[in-house]
Amino acid sequence: MRVCVIGTGYVGLVTGVCLAHIGHHVICIDNNEEKVKLMKSGQSPIYEPGLSELMQSSAASGNLEFSTDLEAGVKHGEILFIAVGTPALPTGESDTRYVEAVARGIGAHLNGGYKVIVNKSTVPIGSGDWVRMIVLDGVAERQKNLVAAGGGISTLERIEAEFDVVSNPEFLREGSAVYDTFNPDRIVLGSNNPKAIEMMKELYAPLVERQFSEDPSLPPVPVVVTDLSSAEMIKYAANAFLATKISFINEVANICDRVGADVTQVAKGIGLDSRIGSKFLSAGIGWGGSCFPKDVSALVHTAEDYGYETELLNAAINVNKRQRTIAIEKLQQELKILKGKTVGLLGLTFKPDTDDMRDAPALTMIEQLNRLGAKVKAYDPIVSQSGLSHGLSGVIIESDPERLADGCDALVVVTEWQEFLRLDYGKMAKTMREPVLIDGRNFLDPAVVTAAGFRYLGIGR
Ligand code: NAD
Ligand code: UGA
């Protein structure tokens, strides 16, 4: 099928590349010229395992193109994905201005043939109808301009009949985005028109049939067909549930710390109950990233718009805020005064296997440590090697973990990068002023690190 993906970030680029890989002809559009230039040269602007290789092979097969030309993309696609960012506004609501610009742009370039416009971006509930309205505004503006210029055009009614909006929320995780796309737990399609749903089912058929799955013998991927608002709500409810689950285990961890229990054993013990499930029960320094914080806030905001106070979600947010300070409390417990001390952060990105620093717990930690008068150094496999500081301030980026440890009063594991399991902790402890290690992800084996000479403190263990 002919597909256009507008917005080539973590979601848009992965979606475009994977759809091209399974045999569709995809044009990826972005209004960032630098990014498009980079992608045309075969390079991925983001770090996502396996993405560059797929991008290059799909481009070589002729199935994948990149452009800044929205008109060309709209003309090409039978299915048009909107995959631009929807960051949080200071009020907590979702900033939909990029979606609006794209929807208007699509309207300005619709060319008659039936199109499915897909909201892949996470958008507030009700956005399906809103996008439809904005697209029609774009159509009307074009109509007005053409009439003013004296050109003949198709009527608004005819154009209106030629597209439908589908909500197709994305559930991929950064760091395993390509894997998640080929191995989804489910595909959610929300629309009022069966014709649009049929086209989406045809698009995803190779994935549903597990042709690109790690285990092709698994039953087909469930496709959940809903109305527009329910599909939009599924996305927010899924992220809010997962964030609440993490806040729950973090609260349990804090109680474990006080009563002397080990949260990793507790998580195992409760996770084996199939009603609870073992995933997303890793206690730590709180959830971050580009989605959980903004999506939970947006859902709270939507509920407020309807006069409903979200007590459980507010609690999940508050637990998370407090959890972001847990490592600092433990540092104070061990080092007492932090002023004049040097703290080394192992990891900066909000989770491993990504270069994404959006709303990373490390940022909160750097700010707090700076405020308390500590010097902060950090080593992160991606940030240190890319040579880019990601606009980070108040932190010295070291090129390797041993240089990081040198002269530190404490180390904090902020991101659970695999390579941190293989470090020479014995050597590192010897070069530190105080061999203190706060494991903000309960990632390391306390026995190993203690044997290497560290005073080890986990979260709730
Ligand atoms: P991103 O910020 O990484 O990428 C957005 C891209 O859109 C950028 O490349 C930007 O240049 C481009 N863009 C902005 N305005 C444009 C315009 N008018 N025309 C063309 N391109 C434009 O965003 P992301 O992380 O990929 O997230 C996109 C959406 O998907 C968000 O709504 C997010 O909540 C949702 N989502 C993200 C993830 C994730 O893991 N990042 C997962 C599921 C859902
Ligand atoms: C999350 C969801 O998992 C995806 O399904 C969703 O598509 C995406 O948000 C989105 O909407 O953007 P992502 O943010 O990439 O994906 O990463 P997660 O693996 O969910 O981790 C989010 C945060 O929770 C990270 O800071 C991570 O360290 C933290 N986390 C996760 C924990 O503290 N404990 C856990 O057990 C799991």
Which ligand 2 atom sits nearest the alpha carbon of residue 288? 26
pLDDT at residue 387 is higher than 90: no
Return the ligand number nearest the Cα of 46.
Answer: 1
**What is the best residue among 235, 287, 320 to mutate for testing ligand 2's pocket, by most ligand atoms within 8 Å of CB?**
287
**Ligand nearest, relative to CA of residue 298:** 1
CA nearest neighbour of 94 among 251, 301, 284: 301
CB 285 within 8 A of CB 414: yes
Q: How distant, in Å, are the alpha carbons of 124, 301, 348, 358 from that of 88?
A: 11, 11, 21, 11
pLDDT band for position 157 (50/70/90)?
very low
The pLDDT of residue 161 is 47
223-240 burial, b at 16+ Cβ within 10 Å, e below that, comes to: beebebeebbbbbbebbb
How far is Cα 188 from Cα 97, in angstroms, rounded to an integer?
A: 24
3-state secondary structure of 236: helix
pLDDT (tens digit per residue) in 98-108: 999 999 999 99
> What tens digit of pLDDT does each residue of 207-231 get?
999 999 999 999 999 999 999 999 9
| Any atom of ligand 2 within 6 Å of the Cβ of 239 | yes
The mean per-residue pLDDT over the stretch 298-306 comes to 96
**What is the pLDDT confidence band of residue 111, given thresholds at 50, 70 and 90?**
confident
What band does 143 get if pLDDT is binned at 50, 70 and 90?
A: confident
Q: Which atom of ligand 2 is nearest to the CA of 235?
A: 11
| Nearest ligand, measured from the Cα of 286 | 2
| Residue owning the nearest CA to atom 14 of ligand 1 | 84
- Mean pLDDT, residues 248-269: 98
Please give the distance, rounded to the nearest whole angstrom, from the Cα atom of residue 353 to the centre of ligand 2: 12
**290 Cβ below 6 A of ligand 1:** yes
In the chain, the largest separation of any two C-alpha atoms, in whole Å, equals: 82
Q: Kindly state the tokens that stand for 137.
A: 């505004």
Q: How far is the CA of 7 from the centre of ligand 2 (A)?
A: 21
The pLDDT value given to residue 388? 67
291 catalytic? Reply is yes
Backbone angles phi, psi at 105, to 5 degrees: -65, -40
Ligand 1 contact, 168 CB (< 6 A): no
What's the one-letter identity of residue 41? S
Residue 389: predicted pLDDT: 66
Is 172 touching ligand 1 by the criterion CB < 6 Å? Answer: yes
C-alpha to C-alpha distance for 185 and 224, rounded to whole angstroms: 11
Q: Return the percentage of the chain with pLDDT > 90, whole number.
A: 93
The Å distance, Cα 227 to ligand 2 centre, comes to 26
Q: Which two tokens stand for residue 272?
A: 């084996």
125, amino acid identity:
I
Over residues 291-312, mean pLDDT:
97
Q: What is the pLDDT of residues 37-88, one digit of tens each?
A: 999 999 999 999 999 999 999 999 999 999 999 999 999 999 999 999 999 9
Atom of ligand 1 nearest to the CA of 86: 32
Please name the residue whose Cα sits nearest to atom 3 of ligand 2. 173
* CB 15, CB 54: distance < 8 Å: no
Out of 18, 28, 291, 408, which one is annotated catalytic?
Answer: 291
CA separation for the pair 269, 211 (Å, rounded): 36
Q: What is the pLDDT of residues 5-28, one digit of tens each?
A: 999 999 999 999 999 999 999 999
Q: Tell whether pTM > 0.75.
A: yes
Q: How far is CA 117 from CA 4, 204, 222, 411, in A?
A: 10, 15, 22, 49
Give the pLDDT band (50/70/90) at residue 147: confident
Q: How far apart are CA 287 and CA 279, in angstroms?
A: 14
The answer for residues whose C-beta is within 8 angstroms of residue 26's C-beta and 6 or more apart is 3, 4, 5, 16, 17, 19, 20, 58, 63, 64, 65
